[in-house]
Amino acid sequence: MAGTTVDTTALDRARDVIVKYGFIAVTILLFIYFALTEPAFATSSSIFSMLKFVSVTAILGLGIMFTMVVGGLDLSIGSVAGLAVQMAAMTMVFYNMTGFTAVGVVMLAGVLVGLINAFLIVVCKIPDLLATLGMMFVIQGAKLIPVSGQSVTSGMVTRDGSEAPGRFTEGFLQIDRGFVGPIPLPVVIMLLLVIASWFFLSRTTWGRVMYAIGANPEAARLAGVRVGFYRGLAYVISAMLASVGGLILVSRIGQGDVNAGASSLLEAVAVALVGRSVLGAGKPNAWGTLLGAVLIAIVLTGLTMKGFQYYHQDTAKGAVLILALIFSYTLSRKKIRYVSAT
């Protein structure tokens, strides 16, 4: 009996070590493998390009993380990023306004979408997934109406037959193309948002209250917490982060692509779920979300350098997501209790 107890304890400890450090170990091992087999992989330019490429996914993952913290999930985040792309392009190309104005319009649109999501979830009592799913479809269709389903580009012909008077300003394009020293500006923006998100959730009363709501909304309500306010706040923050990601994306592609953001939802969910598994946290967190984005970037960049076709990438992202779920729900001994607050 004593031997069995010792063996069980040893297995539990081994499992805890795997859960706590497994994803970090996998990330490091993959980086070493690709660095040894592909010399160009570990160069500074390649690393910065990899981080720049994944910055949009990481920022959207932070938005998903905030809604997961309060026990929800924002399915509209990819559509909001696509809306940001379209709104920025229309502001500059159709209405010939400055890039600064376009940033303001995009952020206001993001806040508006977040408030609508909050209204549907908190006031109308619609479950989070259903409310944001409906908003996703509304945005996907509504953003195409003003442009008749066309991508917005400089010099395009508008519906009245005239040529669009504006263009993407050089200053706006620097959102993606600019640098702070040797570091690409999108990487700097990503890191600042990760730090701000970590500080907000871990070092402020508001963040701790949001975690408490995600763990047990009824207990939080009985303790006098304004559950509806904090849940609504999470969806406004999510939409704002999606808008920031959209701004980086549109400055990268240089046009209002109607398909922009279409694949962003699943990637954002994947990195947020990876974040939940890192260091055995058992809860959504900013640094884990960043690691999830970096892990996906390493996998996709490494596969690309090895000559794999683009259609292998979805399989790789799916495998990372399944691995995250195994760490969170199968191996972890923590009771992960995130329930809907409706």
* CA separation for the pair 327, 314 (Å, rounded): 20
What is the per-residue pLDDT for 341? 46
pLDDT of residue 340 exceeding 50: no
Q: What contacts 173, CB < 8 A, 6 or more positions away? A: 99, 251, 254
* CA separation for the pair 209, 287 (Å, rounded): 19
> Per mean pLDDT, which range of 115-129, 146-160, 237-251, 324-338 is the poorest?
324-338
Burial of 77 (0-12, 13-18, 19+ CB in 10 A): buried
What is the per-residue pLDDT for 18? 74
Residue 38 phi/psi, 5° resolution?
A: -130, 95
Burial of 50 (0-12, 13-18, 19+ CB in 10 A): buried
Residue 147 pLDDT class (50, 70, 90 cuts): confident
Q: Which two tokens stand for residue 247?
A: 């701004």
Residue 117 pLDDT class (50, 70, 90 cuts): very high
Q: Which two tokens stand for residue 21?
A: 């450090």
Residue 213 phi/psi, 5° resolution?
A: -65, -45
pLDDT of residue 5 exceeding 60: no
What is the per-residue pLDDT for 320? 77
Tokens 């944001």: give the residue. Answer: 132
pLDDT of residue 235 exceeding 70: yes
Hey, which bits of the chain come out as E strands?
179-180, 183-184
From residue 33, alpha-carbon distances to 23, 209, 303, 324 in Å are: 15, 41, 11, 20
From residue 176, alpha-carbon distances to 132, 179, 272 in Å are: 28, 8, 23
Q: Do residues 256 and 168 make contact, with C-beta atoms less than 8 angstroms apart?
A: no
Residue 52 pLDDT class (50, 70, 90 cuts): very high
What is the per-residue pLDDT for 337? 47
Q: If you average pLDDT over every residue of the chain, what do you get? A: 89
* Residue of 108, 99, 58 lying closest to 243 (CA atoms): 108
> pLDDT, tens digit, for every residue of 65-98?
999 999 999 999 999 999 999 999 999 999 999 9
Tokens 């408490």: give the residue. Answer: 212
> pLDDT, tens digit, for every residue of 275-299?
887 765 678 999 999 998 998 899 9
* CA separation for the pair 248, 102 (Å, rounded): 12
Mean pLDDT of 28-41: 92
% of the chain with per-residue pLDDT over 90: 66
What is the per-residue pLDDT for 224? 94
Single-letter code of the amino acid located at 141: G
Q: Which two tokens stand for residue 56?
A: 């949009």
Residue 316 pLDDT class (50, 70, 90 cuts): confident
Q: Do residues 96 and 166 make contact, with C-beta atoms less than 8 angstroms apart?
A: yes
% of the chain with per-residue pLDDT over 70: 92
pLDDT of residue 46 exceeding 80: yes
Rounded to 10 deg, the angle between the 77-89 and 128-142 helix axes is: 30
Mean pLDDT of 194-199: 97
| N-term to C-term CA, the chain | 46
What is the per-residue pLDDT for 3? 52
Residue 246 pLDDT class (50, 70, 90 cuts): very high
